[in-house]
Amino acid sequence: MTTYKHILVPVDESPISYAAVEQALSLAKELNSEVTVMSVIAIDPLVGIDFYKIAPAITDYFMQAEKNAQLRLTDIERLFIRDGISVNTKVIRGVSASEGIIGIADEVSADLIIMGSHGHTGFKKMVLGSVAQNVLTQSPIPVLIIKV
């Protein structure tokens, strides 16, 4: 069996992220792996349309999004600490989710990414995009996709 020394787990507020966390928790415990749990606060490309009129609202949105991400990461971090697993957390700003995930995987020398996927197909996937699909196709390291 391949031994993964460092697992990266990208999370957002969705329940499927927590399914990926549970899988990472189990695997890290079994393999004695280090874990980095991360969250990306992406910039919406449509935001700049009337930037000067909505700048305060955007600033408030990003501040709240970062606060929520930090709280989520702290809660998840406690799960790993409880089980004696070495864990780090990171919040990335200003890049697309898939770009942030791939970048952090490289930065922390992760050798496995475990992430959730909503499993959209067809039109929904085309319209909504797929972070998991982008990471899967761009990542130079193995990616374990958890679908619920």
User: What's the distance, Cα to Cα, between the start and end of the chain in Å?
Assistant: 25
Q: Is 82 helix (H, G, I), strand (E, B) or coil?
A: helix
Task: Report, in angstroms and rounded to the nearest whole number, the Rg of the chain calculated over CA atoms.
Answer: 16
Instruction: Judge whether residue 105 has pLDDT over 50.
Output: yes
Longest dimension (CA), the chain: 56
Q: Is residue 96 part of a domain?
A: yes
Q: Is 36 helix (H, G, I), strand (E, B) or coil?
A: strand
Q: To 10 degrees, what angle do helices 97-107 and 131-138 make? A: 40
Which residues in the chain belong to E strands, given as ranges? 6-10, 34-41, 87-93, 112-117, 143-147
Q: Tens digit of pLDDT for each residue in 60-88?
A: 777 888 899 999 999 999 999 999 999 99
| CA dist., res. 84 & res. 74, Å (int) | 15
pLDDT confidence bin for 47, thresholds 50/70/90: very low
Average pLDDT of the chain, as a whole number: 86
Instruction: Judge whether residue 36 has pLDDT over 90.
Output: yes
pLDDT confidence bin for 1, thresholds 50/70/90: low
Closest by Cα among 13, 50, 9 to 27: 9
CATH label of the domain that carries residue 104: 3.40.50.620
Give whole-number Cα distances, 75 to 39, 82, 97, in Å.
Answer: 13, 11, 21
- Provide the residue range defining the domain that includes 16: 6-147
Which residues in 29-86 belong to E strands, given as ranges? 34-41
pLDDT confidence bin for 51, thresholds 50/70/90: low
Q: Is residue 1 part of a domain?
A: no
Supply the pTM of this predicted model.
0.85
Q: Are 103 and 134 in contact (CB under 8 A)?
A: no
Q: Tens digit of pLDDT for each residue in 4-30?
A: 999 999 999 888 999 999 999 999 999
What are residue 54's phi and psi, to 5 degrees?
A: -115, 5
Q: How many domains does the chain have?
A: 1
